[in-house]
Amino acid sequence: MSLVKYRNRFDDHFPVISDLFDQFFDAPISSSNRGTMPAVNVSENDDAYLLELAAPGRKKEDFKIDVNNNVLRIASETKEEKTEEDKDAKFTRREFTYQSFSRSFTLPENVNADHIKATYSDGVLKLEIEKIPEVKPKQIEIK
Protein backbone atom coordinates (compact mmCIF):
# COMPACT_ATOMS: atom_id res chain seq x y z
CA MET A 1 0.00 0.00 0.00
CA SER A 2 1.25 3.45 -0.80
CA LEU A 3 0.96 6.62 1.26
CA VAL A 4 -0.84 8.30 -1.63
CA LYS A 5 -4.51 9.23 -1.55
CA TYR A 6 -6.72 6.51 -3.06
CA ARG A 7 -10.39 6.24 -4.03
CA ASN A 8 -11.68 3.02 -5.56
CA ARG A 9 -14.15 3.99 -8.28
CA PHE A 10 -16.02 0.68 -7.92
CA ASP A 11 -16.88 1.17 -4.21
CA ASP A 12 -20.30 2.73 -4.69
CA HIS A 13 -21.71 0.69 -7.56
CA PHE A 14 -20.05 -2.73 -7.53
CA PRO A 15 -18.90 -3.77 -4.03
CA VAL A 16 -17.96 -7.32 -5.11
CA ILE A 17 -15.68 -6.02 -7.87
CA SER A 18 -14.32 -3.45 -5.41
CA ASP A 19 -13.32 -6.23 -2.98
CA LEU A 20 -11.56 -8.14 -5.77
CA PHE A 21 -9.58 -5.07 -6.85
CA ASP A 22 -8.67 -4.35 -3.24
CA GLN A 23 -7.32 -7.88 -2.72
CA PHE A 24 -5.27 -8.09 -5.91
CA PHE A 25 -3.94 -4.55 -6.15
CA ASP A 26 -3.04 -3.92 -2.47
CA ALA A 27 -5.61 -1.16 -2.08
CA PRO A 28 -7.08 -0.07 1.25
CA ILE A 29 -8.68 -2.77 3.39
CA SER A 30 -11.93 -4.11 1.99
CA SER A 31 -14.86 -5.27 4.08
CA SER A 32 -13.99 -8.93 3.39
CA ASN A 33 -10.62 -8.89 5.21
CA ARG A 34 -11.26 -6.19 7.78
CA GLY A 35 -11.46 -8.80 10.58
CA THR A 36 -7.86 -10.03 10.31
CA MET A 37 -6.05 -6.96 9.01
CA PRO A 38 -5.83 -3.93 11.32
CA ALA A 39 -7.18 -0.66 10.00
CA VAL A 40 -4.69 2.14 9.30
CA ASN A 41 -5.20 5.90 9.30
CA VAL A 42 -2.67 7.86 7.24
CA SER A 43 -2.38 11.61 7.59
CA GLU A 44 0.27 14.22 7.05
CA ASN A 45 1.31 17.62 8.30
CA ASP A 46 4.06 19.98 7.16
CA ASP A 47 6.80 18.01 8.93
CA ALA A 48 5.79 14.33 8.80
CA TYR A 49 3.47 11.56 7.68
CA LEU A 50 1.49 9.97 10.52
CA LEU A 51 0.29 6.35 10.57
CA GLU A 52 -2.10 5.02 13.20
CA LEU A 53 -2.66 1.27 13.20
CA ALA A 54 -5.42 -0.21 15.38
CA ALA A 55 -4.06 -3.38 17.01
CA PRO A 56 -5.60 -3.81 20.47
CA GLY A 57 -4.56 -6.57 22.83
CA ARG A 58 -0.93 -6.66 21.76
CA LYS A 59 2.31 -5.64 23.41
CA LYS A 60 4.94 -3.44 21.82
CA GLU A 61 7.23 -6.49 21.70
CA ASP A 62 4.75 -8.19 19.33
CA PHE A 63 5.52 -5.73 16.51
CA LYS A 64 8.32 -5.80 13.98
CA ILE A 65 8.82 -2.64 11.92
CA ASP A 66 11.43 -2.32 9.19
CA VAL A 67 12.25 -0.26 6.11
CA ASN A 68 13.85 -1.82 3.05
CA ASN A 69 14.11 -0.26 -0.43
CA ASN A 70 11.76 2.57 0.58
CA VAL A 71 9.06 0.14 1.74
CA LEU A 72 7.85 0.33 5.34
CA ARG A 73 6.70 -3.05 6.69
CA ILE A 74 4.73 -3.48 9.91
CA ALA A 75 4.24 -7.07 11.08
CA SER A 76 2.95 -8.73 14.22
CA GLU A 77 2.39 -12.26 15.46
CA THR A 78 0.81 -13.36 18.73
CA LYS A 79 0.13 -16.77 20.22
CA GLU A 80 -2.34 -17.39 23.04
CA GLU A 81 -3.08 -20.67 24.79
CA LYS A 82 -6.12 -21.26 26.97
CA THR A 83 -6.51 -24.38 29.07
CA GLU A 84 -9.70 -25.49 30.74
CA GLU A 85 -9.76 -28.53 32.99
CA ASP A 86 -12.83 -30.39 34.20
CA LYS A 87 -11.70 -32.50 37.18
CA ASP A 88 -14.87 -34.65 37.28
CA ALA A 89 -14.67 -35.73 33.64
CA LYS A 90 -10.86 -35.97 33.58
CA PHE A 91 -10.98 -33.96 30.39
CA THR A 92 -8.65 -31.18 29.28
CA ARG A 93 -9.42 -28.86 26.42
CA ARG A 94 -6.82 -26.58 24.89
CA GLU A 95 -7.62 -23.79 22.52
CA PHE A 96 -4.85 -22.16 20.54
CA THR A 97 -5.14 -18.75 18.98
CA TYR A 98 -2.60 -17.43 16.51
CA GLN A 99 -2.97 -13.96 15.07
CA SER A 100 -0.58 -12.40 12.63
CA PHE A 101 -0.57 -9.68 10.03
CA SER A 102 1.83 -7.81 7.82
CA ARG A 103 1.19 -4.43 6.20
CA SER A 104 3.53 -2.74 3.72
CA PHE A 105 3.61 0.89 2.64
CA THR A 106 5.63 2.44 -0.17
CA LEU A 107 7.19 5.57 1.24
CA PRO A 108 7.33 8.78 -0.79
CA GLU A 109 10.75 10.08 -1.83
CA ASN A 110 10.52 13.09 0.48
CA VAL A 111 10.85 11.12 3.76
CA ASN A 112 13.81 10.40 5.98
CA ALA A 113 13.64 6.64 6.62
CA ASP A 114 16.30 6.98 9.34
CA HIS A 115 13.99 9.17 11.44
CA ILE A 116 10.84 7.13 12.03
CA LYS A 117 9.38 7.25 15.53
CA ALA A 118 7.02 4.51 16.75
CA THR A 119 4.89 4.39 19.91
CA TYR A 120 2.26 1.91 21.08
CA SER A 121 -0.41 3.00 23.54
CA ASP A 122 -4.03 2.05 24.22
CA GLY A 123 -4.14 -0.47 21.36
CA VAL A 124 -2.92 1.97 18.71
CA LEU A 125 0.52 1.80 17.07
CA LYS A 126 1.55 5.30 15.97
CA LEU A 127 4.37 6.00 13.53
CA GLU A 128 5.72 9.42 12.70
CA ILE A 129 7.71 9.45 9.45
CA GLU A 130 9.74 12.63 9.20
CA LYS A 131 9.75 14.51 5.89
CA ILE A 132 12.98 15.82 4.39
CA PRO A 133 12.87 19.63 4.53
CA GLU A 134 12.38 21.20 1.14
CA VAL A 135 15.38 23.04 -0.16
CA LYS A 136 14.20 26.39 -1.41
CA PRO A 137 16.25 28.09 -4.10
CA LYS A 138 18.21 31.05 -2.84
CA GLN A 139 17.61 34.31 -4.64
CA ILE A 140 20.85 36.09 -5.47
CA GLU A 141 20.69 39.82 -5.68
CA ILE A 142 22.61 41.48 -8.50
CA LYS A 143 24.44 44.66 -7.44
C-beta separation of 95 from 82 below 8 A: yes
Sketch the domain layout of the chain as residue ranges: 1-35, 36-131
What is the C-alpha separation between 60 and 69, in angstroms, rounded? 24
Alpha-carbon span 39 to 87, nearest angstrom: 42
Does residue 119 have a pLDDT over 80? yes
Dump pLDDT digits (tens) for 26-59. 444 444 444 578 899 999 998 999 999 999 888 8
The pLDDT value recorded for residue 51 is 94
Contact 57, 63 (CB under 8 A): no
Closest C-alpha among 46, 54, 48 to residue 101: 54
Element (H, E) at 72: strand 71-86
Supply the pTM of this predicted model: 0.62
Sign of the alpha-carbon dihedral angle for 61, 54, 122, 129 = positive
Q: Which residues pair with 71 in a beta bridge?
A: 68, 106
pLDDT at 21 over 60: no
Pick the CATH number of 36-131 from 2.60.40.790, 3.40.50.970, 3.90.580.10, 3.40.1180.10: 2.60.40.790
63-106 confidence digits (pLDDT tens): 999 999 989 999 998 876 555 555 565 556 666 677 889 999 99
